[in-house]
């Protein structure tokens, strides 16, 4: 079966079936510098989005064109949200943004990235600072491997949870606690300037590889939801066990003035 994204709680779903269309809203992505689509080993459907570091390709949409309620949109403010999807890297020696809404160095909202030390990171921004929740230890991302990620932000308690699964090797990277939490220092803040990007931020962080079926959910998804989404078994509504209660585990936090630091 295919994932069911009919719930109104899904703000956006980009399946990259040879286009940047949003299956839920009008958040259609524009290809930049020749960002395209590939039929070689697609992670979902018949195509995956293909991005190139050398050509500095990406997909984007401006803040003013984002639908109401999009996390980080100017005027939306602090809110629960989840972001998830597939990625595969063709290099691991550079900071690479999978998805995010931020404009360095003064309008940070949020982003999902793999750093040059191969740490998987979910960052929530406030003004000039990003508060980072790192998947620890480093994921030792292997070029060519397919990964599924899920990141959840709890607005009231300023907590983040990170899920990461190596699809190629059929394993969680941290078997002790795959769904992790951490308290951050400040709340999500929306700004008018930043674009929403897939594959970059401002003029850096270009991704070299592929992404697929990236979704943004207006609320909380948990490990069961991400497991189902990864396996094409998601039935349309979040698991009844999805809640704002979290338990601490092996994540680390830090603040930085730029997303790549």
**Predicted confidence (pLDDT) per residue in 57-86, tens digit:** 999 999 999 999 999 999 998 999 999 999
Q: Is residue 34 part of a domain?
A: yes
% of residues, the chain, pLDDT over 70: 86
Greater confidence, 104 or 1?
104
For residue 159, what is the domain's CATH number?
2.60.120.200
Mean pLDDT of the chain: 87
Q: Is residue 2 part of a domain?
A: no
Give the closest residue to 219 by CA, choosing from 233, 192, 240.
Answer: 240
**Predicted confidence (pLDDT) per residue in 203-260, tens digit:** 899 999 999 999 999 999 998 999 999 999 999 888 855 544 444 344 455 666 444 4
Q: Is residue 59 part of a domain?
A: yes
Range of the domain at 142: 10-256
Q: Is residue 239 part of a domain?
A: yes
pTM: 0.91
pLDDT surpasses 90 at 127:
no
**Predicted confidence (pLDDT) per residue in 17-28, tens digit:** 999 999 999 999
pLDDT surpasses 70 at 199:
yes
Q: Is residue 120 part of a domain?
A: yes
Per the structure, how many domains does the chain have?
A: 1
How far apart are the C-alpha atoms of 180 and 226, rounded to whole Å? Answer: 13
Q: Is residue 5 part of a domain?
A: no
**Which pLDDT band holds residue 134 (cuts at 50, 70, 90)?**
confident
How far apart are the C-alpha atoms of 94 and 190, rounded to whole Å? Answer: 27
Q: Is residue 116 part of a domain?
A: yes
């Amino acid at each position: 079966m295919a994932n069911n994204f009919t719930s109104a709680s899904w703000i956006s779903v980009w399946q990259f079936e040879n286009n940047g269309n949003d299956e839920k809203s009008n958040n259609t992505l524009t290809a930049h510098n020749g960002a395209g689509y590939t039929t070689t080993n697609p992670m979902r459907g018949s195509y995956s989005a293909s991005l190139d570091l050398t050509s500095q390709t990406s997909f984007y949409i401006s803040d003013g064109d984002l639908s109401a309620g999009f996390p980080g949109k100017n005027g939306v403010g602090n809110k629960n949200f989840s972001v998830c999807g597939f990625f595969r890297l063709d290099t691991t020696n550079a900071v690479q943004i999978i998805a995010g809404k931020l404009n360095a160095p003064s309008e940070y909202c949020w982003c999902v990235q793999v750093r040059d030390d191969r740490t998987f990171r979910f960052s929530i921004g406030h003004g000039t600072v990003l508060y980072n929740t790192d998947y620890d230890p480093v994921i030792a991302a292997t070029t060519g491997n397919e990964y599924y990620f899920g990141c959840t932000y709890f607005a009231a308690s300023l907590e983040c949870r990170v899920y990461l699964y190596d699809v190629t090797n059929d394993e969680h990277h941290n078997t002790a606690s795959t769904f992790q939490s951490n308290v951050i220092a400040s709340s999500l803040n929306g700004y008018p300037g930043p674009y929403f990007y897939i594959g970059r931020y401002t003029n850096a962080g270009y991704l070299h590889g592929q992404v697929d079926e990236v979704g943004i959910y207006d609320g909380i998804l948990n490990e069961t939801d991400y497991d189902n989404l990864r396996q094409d078994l998601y039935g349309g509504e979040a698991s009844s066990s999805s809640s704002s209660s979290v338990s601490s585990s092996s994540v680390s936090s830090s603040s930085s003035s730029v997303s790549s630091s």
